[in-house]
Amino acid sequence: MSYNSSTEANCVCSEDIKKNEESNFDLVLKEKWMEAQKNGVFRYILNVQDWKILEGKYHFLVQLNIDRGYKRRSPENIISMNQPFNEKDFNFTKLVSEEQIMNLNNTDKDDIIAINASPIKYYHSLLLPQRCKQLPQLVTKHSLVKGVELFSLSLSSYIRVAFNSLCAFASVNHLHWHLYYLKWRMLLEYIGELIINAEMEDLQNYIMMDAVPPSWTKRVYPSKLGLNSWFTDMLYRINKLSDWTADFKFMKLIIESVANFDAWNSTQTGKINIAKLNERQNKASFNAHDCCYP
């Protein structure tokens, strides 16, 4: 993956850049973005008056950006997620050269990064994949790959690449992705996090030592075997139990055993009613040893 701009840069990152969490890609993008702002290319000078984190489990970040509300380009009339591209409407083939930051991996300016003329953050830009093909705002494999490639170009942990579809606040029906830097963790970055506690650390240690964790033996049979041998033995027992229950012999044995309690005369002598027990045993259609654990 490579890129070029009026300011030459390469993707070989020095130790100093790694320490600052910025690659040459990040530095060039930010430099060109600030240059465009200095030259008055944006529709307004970014001025976020206020921001806050909303209460609740999602912790959404909201900001007060009045200029974006009043000075941005009027959105297209979007009525369908599959609305076709219309070359008569505004599209990104009409960008002036001052809005274009860099080309990505080609010389025909078909995959480029451009400023977002109505930014929500500093360095808010647009990834415009296959721009000259005039594709509608629908995700394509090529555009997704280009979006992922940006993460390999950047060293910043704050970089974000986002897509909003038609009928989901996309204002231009021409394929584009948003690119910006945000020093705030978004929901998708932590919603699946697993926090390691002391119990989980103990479990990890027992597994590494090939020992059966005590928390497991509370729910299964005790054993002095190592974890690997114990697990193999447990699988063997499960398979044997499956064999027993496959033809219902094991279940029938249990039913017969429970039924034999009727042969116990607890109200009289406390002795087994031998006649009744023999009667039930003669009715059994199989030998109990057929189902015994070997």
176 among known catalytic residues: yes
- Kindly state the greatest CA–CA separation across the chain: 108
SS3 percent helix, strand, coil of the chain, rounded to 5, is 40, 10, 50
- Cα separation of 278 and 155, whole Å? 82
Contacts of 104-110 with C-beta under 8 Å, sequence gap 24+, read 104/1, 104/3, 104/146, 104/149, 105/1, 105/2, 105/3, 107/4, 108/132
Q: Which of 124, 174, 176, 178 is catalytic?
A: 176
Helix (H, G, I), strand (E, B) or coil at 260: helix
Going by C-alpha positions, the residue among 138, 132, 143, 127 that lies closest to residue 170 is 138
Active-site annotation, residues: 176
